[in-house]
Chains A and B, each alone.
Chain A
Amino acid sequence: MQRRHFLKNTMATGTIALAASSGLLVPGQVLAAWNKKAFDAKDVQSALKDIIGTELTEASDKIHIKAPQIAENGAVVPVTISSTLSNVKSITIISEKNSTPLIAKFNLKGKAEAYISTRIKMGKTSNIIAVCESGGKFYSARKEVKVTIGGCGG
C-alpha cells in the first residue's frame, strides 16, 4: 500500500515538474493576452479595429492568397498567404461571413518571412481577407472561396 502511494506521489510530482519546466523554459514567453473582444466580434470592421487598431486597410496586389475557388468541405479550407511587401510584421486572416470573422493573427518576429499556410473553417461562401502589417501600415487582399458544406455548427 505504501509503495503504491509512493509511486503515485512521485508520478504526480513528476508531471507537475514537467509541466512547469515546459512552460517556464521558454525565455521571455510573452504569450500575448488573447484578444477576446476581437475574436468575439461579429462583423469585419469591429474585428479589424480590435485586432489591429484600425479598420482602414489599403488594398494591395503584393499580398497573395492561395485558396481553393471551391471548397467542398468548409471545415478544412487550406489557405496560404504570402506577401512581397517588405518587413511584414503581422498577418491577419479573416473570413468575411463567419459568425465571428476573425480567424487568426500571426505576429512575425525577427527574420520570419511573410508566409503563412494553414487550414481554416468557413461557415459559408465568402471572401477571405488577408491583412499584412508593413511599415506601420496595413494592407489587405481578398479572395472569394465558395463553400458547399459549411464548417461551423453541424
Chain B
Amino acid sequence: MAKSSIKIRAKAKNGVVTVKTLISHKMETGLRKNKKTGKIIPAHFIESVVCEHNGTPVLDAQWGVAISKNPYLSFKFGGGKAGDKVKLTWKDNMGKSDSLETKVK
C-alpha cells in the first residue's frame, strides 16, 4: 500500500476531541508559471474536506487555492472519547481523493 497522503492525530481531553491533521498536497494555485517554459501550471488543489466522528460528519469544509501547500488543519469537537473513530476525507479539483481513519487517543 502506498503511504497515505494524510496524517491525523486525535486526542480527547475532558470530552473534547482535538484533531490535528496534515495532508500532503501541492495546492497549486493556477497562477504560477513554470520558470523554464513560461507556461502556467494548472491549478490543482483540494476542494473539499470532510471529517466524521463515528460516522457522523462534524466538519465539512470548502477550500480555495489560498490554503497553503501541504495543508495543516486543526479543529475540535465535543462529545468524544478515547477509542472513537475519526475519519478524514479530501477531494481535489482533479477528482482525486483520499481518506484515513484513526482512533481517538
Contact = CB atoms under 8 A, between A and B. Distances in A.
Interface residues of A, number: 45
Interface stretch (A5-13, A21-29, A130-138): A21-29
A103 B56 contact: no
Contact of B73 (A98, A116, A122): A116
Interface string B22-38: 00000001011000000
Q: Which secondary structure dominates where chain B touches chain A?
A: strand
A31 B77 CA distance: 20
B91 A112 contact: no
Residue in B32, B59, B80 whose Cβ sees the most chain A Cβ within 10 Å: B59
B66 A109 contact: no
A110 B58 CA distance: 6
B29 A104 contact: no
Interface residues of B, number: 41
Contacts of B32: 153-154
Interface in B22-79: 29, 31-32, 47-48, 50, 52-53, 55-69, 71-79
Contacts of A152: 29, 31, 66
Contacts of A32: 48, 60, 62
Given A26-B89, A109-B57, A111-B79, A76 B68 contact: yes
A121 interface: yes
Nearest to A154: B32
A95 interface: yes
Nearest to B48: A31
Nearest to A26: B89
A54 interface: no
Contact of A26 (B50, B61, B80): B50
Nearest to A108: B59
B56 A104 contact: no
A118 B67 contact: yes
A119 B57 contact: no
Interface string B78-99: 1110000001010101000111
B95 to A, nearest CB: 10
A22 B58 contact: no
